[in-house]
């Protein structure tokens, strides 16, 4: 089995903002890793559902191979490997109807992944919003009718702007028992956009990720 310690670095290395402290059970990573280490698995952070079965790793001639795909109701698990290391995540791609047309446009990518570091495995929740959002407003979300949590966007890539949060053991049951995650971000004119993310299948998906550790 590929090194999970390396997987944790690959997942977290692109996130160099200092963690925000609080009692929400969620916090942004507070460690910086060199970006070059993350190149192989950059697709796990940003790519929507329809990305190619294999994709070139940034800054490398290596190819990413899809080693497993499995659906858990409204969530999908996908594992990628470069032949030496593997990284898995569960995700849900949300689309919306474009104004004045029937075209479907990207609205939000929700993703969870198990990150191992220093012998400890922690679930991470990442949310990717479309490019062109109002960055100072960050992104807010709540599970069912629970507390609203606001997090900063950490960086933007070709496919959107991302936030990433480590999930504490105390907060994880809130995610598992929820039915809907309400995610809100703003357009440049500060008009709020809310995307409702189904949480059906999230528990089975997280269990599948844990089983691959």
| Domains present along the chain, CATH in parentheses | 4-211 (2.60.40.1880)
What pLDDT, on a 0 to 100 scale, did the predictor assign at position 35? 29
Whole-angstrom distance, CA of residue 177 vs CA of residue 161: 27
pTM: 0.75
pLDDT category at 97 given cuts 50, 70, 90 is confident
What pLDDT, on a 0 to 100 scale, did the predictor assign at position 85? 81
Under 8 Å between Cβ of 49 and 41: no
Mean pLDDT of the chain: 76
- 31 vs 150, higher pLDDT: 150
Angle at 47 between CA 192 and CA 7, to 5 degrees: 115
Whole-angstrom distance, CA of residue 76 vs CA of residue 70: 6
- Mean pLDDT of all residues in 105-115: 92
pLDDT category at 3 given cuts 50, 70, 90 is very low
């Amino acid at each position: 089995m590929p090194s999970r310690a390396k997987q944790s670095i690959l997942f977290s290395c692109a996130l160099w903002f200092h963690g925000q402290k609080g009692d929400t059970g969620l916090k942004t990573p507070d460690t910086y890793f060199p970006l070059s280490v993350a190149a192989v698995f950059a697709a796990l952070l940003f790519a929507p559902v329809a990305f190619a079965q294999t994709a070139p790793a940034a800054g490398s001639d290596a190819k990413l191979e899809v080693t497993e795909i499995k659906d858990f109701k409204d969530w999908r698990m996908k594992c990628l490997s470069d032949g030496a290391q593997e990284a898995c995540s569960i995700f849900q791609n949300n689309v919306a109807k474009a104004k004045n047309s029937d075209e479907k446009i990207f609205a939000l990518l929700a993703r969870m992944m198990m990150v191992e570091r220093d012998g400890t495995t922690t679930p991470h929740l990442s949310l990717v919003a479309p490019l062109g959002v109002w960055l100072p407003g960050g992104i807010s979300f709540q599970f069912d009718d629970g507390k609203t949590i606001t997090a900063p966007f950490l960086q933007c890539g070709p496919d959107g702007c991302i936030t990433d949060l480590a999930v504490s053991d105390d907060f994880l049951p809130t995610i598992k028992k929820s039915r809907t995650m309400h995610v809100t971000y703003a357009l440049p004119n500060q008009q709020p956009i809310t995307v409702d993310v189904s949480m059906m299948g999230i528990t089975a998906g997280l269990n599948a990720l844990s089983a691959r550790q």
